[in-house]
Amino acid sequence: MLLLLAGGCARSVVHPPTDFVTGRTYVLKQNVFLYNQASWLDPADYVLAAPQPYSYVPESIDAYERQPKKWRGVKGIVTPGARIRFDHFLKENWESGLCPSVAVIIDGPFANTEVNVRPISHVKSGESGFYVDERYLQAVDQ
């Protein structure tokens, strides 16, 4: 009976469809912003975000470098070659549909910073999952 009660309390381990692999290292292929989102919805305080117009990050690296103080949430630029290790999904947010994905920057000036990589991931139309976007990341260990 104790076994039955313990089994009933366990949460199922569910994550969205993805080709990110826990523990795998990826190398960044182009500049992205390290943005401090300071959101209660996502315990990873930072996200990696590509430059984009009309957004919370500048439309280009040049725009950021011309007026860095205008972009208060941008902590800096993570450059090509930086290695990032995919760590885990935040399952507790999966029910809300957000399911942040946490990775850790391994090297460079932002080493040991936990980041959400979903903003630089590929989302397939009609699916709730997300996938490695090869424009930004490439697996370096298989």
H helical segments located in 47-118:
61-66
**Any idea which of 33-47, 82-96, 112-126, 127-141 has the lowest mean pLDDT?**
82-96
Which of these, 12, 24, 28, lies nearest to 95 by C-alpha position? 12
- pTM listed for this prediction: 0.77
Residue pLDDT, tens place only, 86-101: 887 665 444 445 455 7
Q: Are 10 and 118 in contact (CB under 8 A)?
A: no
Residue 29: count other Cβ atoms within 10 Å of its Cβ.
16
Residue pLDDT, tens place only, 11-58: 344 556 678 888 999 999 999 999 987 754 555 688 899 998 778 899
Which of these, 100, 124, 96, lies nearest to 37 by C-alpha position? 100
Terminal Cα distance for the chain, rounded? 43
